[in-house]
Structure 1
Amino acid sequence: MQTGRGFTIVEVVAALVIVGAALVATCLAIPIFQI
């Protein structure tokens, strides 16, 4: 835990992976639900 420097590299990478996975899941789910 580092305080005073904002996000750590691990936190930034984890956030990007989560956001990326959410975007991919959304893009894959939209055509499925539209059928």
Structure 2
Amino acid sequence: MDQFQRLDVWLDVACLFKTRSEAQKACSGGKVDV
């Protein structure tokens, strides 16, 4: 099984953002800390 998962996909699936593109923008904009 793949041990890595894209953070923007997880944020979208977890319903923290309405769309995956919103999650991508948040990740690339520095608004998401891991």
Q: TM exceeds 0.5?
A: no
TM-score in terms of structure 2 length: 0.36
Higher relative contact order (CA 8 A, sep 6+): 2
TM-score between the two structures when normalised by the length of structure 1? 0.35
